[in-house]
Amino acid sequence: MQDDQYIYRFISFYDLYQLCKKKKLRLSLLAVQEDMNEGMGAVLQLASPQWGSFFSNSDQIAGQHLQKLHNTYITCWSTEPDSVAMWALYSPNKDGIRIRSTVGRLKATLADYQEATSLWKHTNHIGGTELLTWHWELALVRYINLNIFIEEMNKAYTEFRTSCTESAKGNPEWWTAEDGYLTEAPIFAERFRKAFTMDYFLKNSSFSHENEIRGVVRAGIRNELDFEGWKRLDDPFRQLFKSAEPGVLPSFV
């Protein structure tokens, strides 16, 4: 996507008034979206090789999905300048308006918001429920048939497992050899990640008429760990940040 590419959004006159009055873009929590499959990409990501051993049952995965829904903000735009389907969906009473921006402007807006609310600017805010952010992304949505997508994931796993079994047949040292599994596994994991883990940018193919480009801001709240103590831990997996429980973060910002 080029920064000068035009993008469009269909909104009500009330939302336009709020946009002009407050002079800021409204972001919506993923949990308030009508599509019940929102965030499914983040859930499917848990099936990837690097996470599979940590999330092995449906309750764990459902819990992670709920966490993602209540700690992720999005703004949805379209690359399609005019669409009967979009007008019907977002202006059913024929009282809406289409606004235009560019990819570059949206990037700048998301970057500015994330910078202003960044966790690293609030390291001394121990505990509490203040909304803090740690990452933003902008990408085109990928539309998929979920059943086919899962079948392809399972097929990729099966083929890799079969390949490993064949390679190790009569040669058990292959599993620990530098030119064996230790090399093949990371290669497979990277290919799998690129092919199947689109995180927050997957939607059901029935929404393909939207031609959506989506901005995502990942949020949460500060935990109780002291910043100076955190620095002394020397542990890259220990965080200053935690996900908020459902209902803690506002639905719109």
Contact present, 37 and 203 (Cβ < 8 Å): yes
Whole-structure pTM value:
0.82
Q: What is the pLDDT of residue 7?
A: 97
User: Does 164 have pLDDT greater than 70?
Assistant: yes
Tokens of 208: 């393909």
Q: What is the pLDDT of residue 9?
A: 92
3-state secondary structure of 244: coil
> In whole angstroms, what is the distance from residue 30 CA to residue 38 CA?
7
Distances, alpha carbon 82 to alpha carbons 2, 19, 210, in Å: 20, 21, 10
Q: 46: pLDDT confidence band, cut at 50, 70 and 90?
A: low
User: Does 143 have pLDDT greater than 80?
Assistant: yes
Q: Taking each helix axis from N to C terminus, what angle separates 181-196 and 146-168, rounded to the nearest 10 degrees? A: 170
Contact present, 16 and 97 (Cβ < 8 Å): yes
Tokens of 91: 């202006």
Q: What residues pair up with 101 in beta bridges, in sequence order? A: 7
